Amino acid sequence: MRILLTGAATAALMISSTVAGAQDLRPDQQAFFGLYKELVETNTTVTNGSCTLAASKLAARLRAAGFSDDQLTSFSVAEHPKDGGLVVVYPGTSKTLKPMLLLAHIDVVEAKREDWVRDPFTLVEEDGYYFARGTVDDKAQAAIWTDALIRLKQQGFKPGRTIKLALTCGEETSGAFNGAEWLAANKRDLIDAEFALNEGGGGRTNGTPVSKGGKLLVQTLQVGEKAYQDFTLTVTNPGGHSSQPVPTNAIYQMADAVKAVGSYEFPAEFNDTTRAFFTKSAKLRGDAVGTAMAALVANPADSDALAVVDKDKMLHSMLRTTCVATLIDGGHALNALPQKVTANINCRMFPGRTPDETQAALAQAIGDPAIAIEQRVKNKPIAKSPPLDPMIVKPVESLAAKHFPGVPVLPTMSTGATDGLYLAAVGIPTYGVPSVWVDPDGNGTHGLNERIEAKALYTARDYLFDLVKALAK
């Protein structure tokens, strides 16, 4: 059995080195590349892919590395057989240290062959980049975590903490079966951990590949995120013949309501993460916005500073709950007065803010009791920011200094959302660790021709391997 596996592994290496021109890679990097390529080339879109298949391929690799069946839990539910995932448990020796959890989603955003330059599900290496859907989001992290456990096992590493890994589906599609949410609700003990490491952090270049003399400007550690909530606005009217209009018109009422939402600004606020982010970036920027950021930290009531900072859409969103109209639908005929108009207001709530208080603020801003407001999905968890815990932050920063020398590490709060929300809601503080870097255009994640600089992938892998080892003790 062992010989067979070794033979298969060698064959995989030979294939990878011819396909990927991986002659500059170390042997351990070549083995990783085989795993990464297999994962990337397994379609895991919600429409015609299968996370279950991708998870089973990774499970096979973990089994081959020596993980026993009782350390590998494959899961899926009958209604979503292709949206399965995998939980791996690498037992630790400590009786007192609680486990740590590595999280990554293995599903990807849709990608149509006809829209892409290359086949989105074939990993193509060109000019120092790997191209394919998921090369960044989030199969880089999923492959790095899986490979880390395989390597630790092969090295006979005995962690103090138990290291757990959850590979899940459904992160990219709102309303799909979400593996992280399901695990938090149904397998809380299996994933129990003192903290979790997740996507959401990462680096940013100046636009030139680092392998070609470009500069990695910053790495980020994501500490907390905003919560996603949609509100449906509805107004109804008896309607009638359009030849005899009346003053109360559902479309006009909704137009006023939507405009009121547009001009309403939620109050600016800080938490520990955003305060640290503003303080650190103010120093790094050294421009007018940086000066305003520092002034705002010193005095959150400084309206002049706030006006400057708010011109930056990312900083504006980091400072408060935001709500924006995203869909509108109304009327039923060209020649009739509208009987019903609905609009969707998409809100991103600041950590700690509830859907109810956000709804109340919207209702007050709209000021028209004829507009009904409803929460589209109810009982979603409230975003909780994890603490800036030195136990996490120190090794994150010191190992970053080793692998990304001279690059500042900024704590950030994501204005978007990740699966970290579900873990945070069940008491597992979740950190988006520094990881691969992307160029200022975002490398086509969620878009076309997604790509990752090969150097980013291998550097992040070395960094995260050391980080897992350091945190596992």
Report the site for Zn ion in 81-120 (rule: CB under 5 A): none
Residue 268: CB atoms within 10 A of its CB come to 19
Angle at 221 between CA 452 and CA 447, to 5 degrees: 35
Contact (CB, 8 A) for 164 and 89: yes
For residue 269, is it left (φ>0), alpha (ψ between -120 and 50) or beta?
A: beta
**Among residues 137 and 147, whose Cβ is nearest to Zn ion?**
137
Q: Residue 329: name the closest of 341, 338, 320 by CA.
A: 341
Determine contact, residues 216/210, Cβ cutoff 8 Å.
yes
Minimal distance, residue 348 CB to Zn ion, in Å: 16
The site map against Zn ion for 302-321 (x = CB under 5 A) is: --------------------
Helices 272-285/288-298 angle, 10° precision: 150
Of 137 and 453, the one with the shorter C-beta distance to Zn ion is 137
Burial of 391 (0-12, 13-18, 19+ CB in 10 A): exposed
Residue number with CB closer to Zn ion (197 or 258): 197
Residue nearest to Zn ion (CB): 137
The tokens describing 432, both together, are 């988006």
Q: Please say which residue, 147 or 199, places its beta carbon nearer to Zn ion.
A: 199
Smallest separation, CB 233 to Zn ion (Å): 28
Question: CB 250 → Zn ion: shortest distance, Å?
Answer: 37
Least separation, in Å, of the C-beta of 450 and Zn ion? Answer: 10
Q: Which helix (H) or strand (E) holds 466?
A: helix 454-472
Of 83 and 137, nearer to Zn ion (C-beta) is 137
Task: Specify the pairing of strand 195-198 against strand 322-330.
Answer: unpaired
Whole-number minimum distance, CB 146 to Zn ion, in Å? 18
Q: Which is nearer to Zn ion, 170 or 338 (CB)?
A: 170
Q: Which amino acid is located at 203 in the chain?
A: G
Cβ distance to Zn ion smaller for residue 106 or 399: 106
User: Binders of Zn ion among 119-148, rule CB under 5 A?
Assistant: 137
Q: Are 420 and 464 in contact (CB under 8 A)?
A: no
CB of 356 to Zn ion, least distance (A): 29
Q: Among residues 41 and 137, whose Cβ is nearest to Zn ion?
A: 137
CB 192 within 8 A of CB 354: no
Q: Which is nearer to Zn ion, 136 or 254 (CB)?
A: 136
Site pattern 162..181 for Zn ion (x: CB under 5 A): --------------------
Residue pair 309/293 in contact (Cβ under 8 Å)? The answer is yes
Closest separation in Å from C-beta 229 to Zn ion: 19
Residues contacting Zn ion: total by CB under 5 A: 1
Nearest residue to 465 (alpha-carbon basis) of 152, 164, 198: 152
Please provide residue 338's backbone torsions phi and psi, each rounded to the nearest 5 degrees: -65, 135
DSSP result, 154-181: HTT---SSPEEEEEES-SSSTTS--HHH
Could you tell me the smallest distance in angstroms from the CB atom of residue 124 to Zn ion? 21
Place of tokens 């096979």: 60
Q: How far is the CB of 197 from Zn ion (least distance, A)?
A: 17
Binding site residues, Zn ion, CB under 5 A: 137
